[in-house]
Amino acid sequence: DVKVTQSSRYLVKRTGEKVFLECVQDMDHENMFWYRQDPGLGLRLIYFSYDVKMKEKGDIPEGYSVSREKKERFSLILESASTNQTSMYLCASSSSGTNTDTQYFGPGTRLTVL
């Protein structure tokens, strides 16, 4: 079974803090993704990576950065957290470069920024 794990299920941070969300997958997938899920807006892509040290912006990259130093790990960084970044963050991975391959999701991290 594919397993995608995220470092925290729930996180509370203060405005201005630097926040790290970690994601690890155990299936040797090339591609990894970070989404946020907000009520009424569905899942929106923040960043994705198709190889180690490679990254591409998704639909809403502003205020975020990412790091992929190892194939199995993809980190999302909020440089200076703001209240409008309160959301559910979902990490996903897939095995090739096209979207005909299924993306497998982690359980999500619910981040609250006060």
End-to-end CA gap in the chain: 37
* Nearest CA among 23, 29, 26 for reference residue 51: 29
Residue with tokens 């790990």: 73
By the rule CB under 8 A, 53 interacts with other proteins: no
List the one residue from 12, 41, 52, 54 that touches other proteins (CB under 8 A).
41
List the one residue from 1, 53, 62, 100 that touches other proteins (CB under 8 A).
100
Q: What gap in Å lies between CA 26 and CA 39, rounded to an integer? A: 30
List the one residue from 58, 60, 61, 86 that touches other proteins (CB under 8 A).
58
By the rule CB under 8 A, 9 interacts with other proteins: yes
When the beta carbons of 15 and 92 are compared against other proteins, the nearer one is 92
For CA atoms 22, 111, 104, 79, give the dihedral sign: negative
By the rule CB under 8 A, 102 interacts with other proteins: yes
List the one residue from 50, 61, 73, 86 that touches other proteins (CB under 8 A).
50
Q: What gap in Å lies between CA 47 and CA 58, rounded to an integer? A: 5
By the rule CB under 8 A, 61 interacts with other proteins: no
When the beta carbons of 31 and 75 are compared against other proteins, the nearer one is 31
